[in-house]
Amino acid sequence: MNKPILSVTDLHKSFGPQHVLKGISLDVQAGERIAIIGGSGSGKSTFLRCINFMEMPSQGRIALDGHSLGSVKQTRAGETRVNYAERELCQVRARVGMVFQQFNLFPHMTVLENVMEGLVTVKRAAKTEAREVALSQLTKVGLSNRLDAYPSQLSGGQQQRVAIARALAMEPEIILFDEPTSSLDPELVGEVLRSIRVLADEGRTMLLVTHELGFAYHFATKVIFLADGVFHEVGTPEEVLKEPKQQKTKEFLRRFNEFAF
């Protein structure tokens, strides 16, 4: 096995008294596509958001490309704590792309400006250069004809594709998708999934939280079932989705497929 590009070790996350993630470890190799499934409120979003530090882990270490993030400090009580500098977190976030369930496009910017924004503000790229990159990413998601539109003038599916282009423009080493199709009308789901599949064909490293089990099956190299704050079952799509071993996974899938035809 190669050196993982992302390595999560014994990750815990609590919100006050609520212990959401209870010790999660995961190594991600370059090119892996990991689908994370699980019940509502099981902590799927929290896990993704800890990876790019939108939420601060309560405990555990995250390493990117072999470099452990944050610095360990001893508190006076003798406990160890990990401190993160804002500068370091910003650098990490620029290297890890994120696509949100609610798109979160910048409504005051055009499609093109949305995609250029990270390059110009964070990477300090020249406008002409940023424009070129943005244009090629927008072409990839099939929106090169809507450059000057504002997000409010686009359908949900189009908005999410712009959001994907916005994340891609930063040339992230890993892309995190948090239920990218959950707030879309059913007939718009396909166009977004197709865009994600193009990225899979490019060999990008991705973590995807989804309720689209069919897509997870075809898309993922690895499927993780998250329950009770831990990885309950991990395996190939075949193993986890077709022949689950754990009782909980079976029940989850049964509930999910209750109305399948």
Partner 1 sequence: MVRVGGTLVNYIWDFSAVFSHADLLILGLRNTVLLAIVSIAIGLAVGLALAALLLCQYRVPRYAALAFVEFYRSTPPIVHFFWFYFALPVLFNIEMSPFAAAVLALSTQSSAFYAEVFRGGILSIERGQREAGSALGMTKAQAMRRVVLPQAVARMIAPLVERSFELTKTTALASTLAFADLLYQAMMINSETFRPLEVYTLVALMYLILLTFASALARIGERRAARWR
Ligand X SMILES: Nc1ncnc2c1ncn2[C@@H]1O[C@H](COP(=O)(O)OP(=O)(O)OP(=O)(O)O)[C@@H](O)[C@H]1O
Binding site for partner 1 (CB under 8 A): 52, 54, 86-87, 90-91, 93-95, 97-98, 100, 102, 104-110, 117-118, 121-123, 150-152, 166-167, 170
Residue 7 engages Mg ion in binding (rule: CB under 5 A): no
How many whole angstroms separate alpha carbon 215 and alpha carbon 62?
28
Burial state string for 78-113 with b = 16 or more CB within 10 A and e = fewer than 16: eeeebeeeeeebeebbbbbbbbbbebebeeeebbbb
Q: Is 181 in the site for Mg ion (CB under 5 A)?
A: no
Residue among 5 and 192 whose Cβ is closer to Mg ion: 192
**Residue (45 or 158) nearer to ligand X, CB:** 45
Does 232 participate in binding ligand X (rule CB under 6 A)? no
DSSP assignments along 109-153, one per residue: S-HHHHHHHIIIIIS---HHHHHHHHHHHHHHTT-TT-TT--GGG
Least Å distance between CB 125 and partner 1? Answer: 12
Q: State the nearest-atom distance from the C-beta of 130 to partner 1, in Å.
A: 12
d(C-alpha 36, C-alpha 43), whole Å? 10
Distance CA 162, CA 113 (A): 10
**Residue in 259, 162, 171, 181 with CA at minimum distance from that of residue 219:** 181
Q: Which of 7, 42, 45, 181 binds Mg ion (CB under 5 A)?
A: 45
Q: Report helix, strand or coil for 43.
A: coil
45/181 with CB nearer Mg ion: 45
Strands, E, within 6-121: which ranges?
6-15, 18-28, 33-38, 59-64, 67-68, 71-74, 80-83, 96-99
Among residues 100 and 231, whose Cβ is nearest to partner 1?
Answer: 100
- Per-position x/- string for 5-34, each x denoting binding to ligand X as judged by CB under 6 A, each - no binding: ----------x----x--------------
Q: Is 43 in the site for ligand X (CB under 6 A)?
A: yes
Q: How far apart are CA 224 and CA 230, in angstroms?
A: 10
Kindly tell me which of 111 and 189 has the beta carbon lying closer to partner 1. 111
User: Contact with ligand X (CB under 6 A): which of 7, 46, 114, 195?
Assistant: 46
Q: Which residues bind ligand X (CB under 6 A)?
A: 15, 20, 38, 40-46
Q: Which residues bind Mg ion (CB under 5 A)?
A: 45
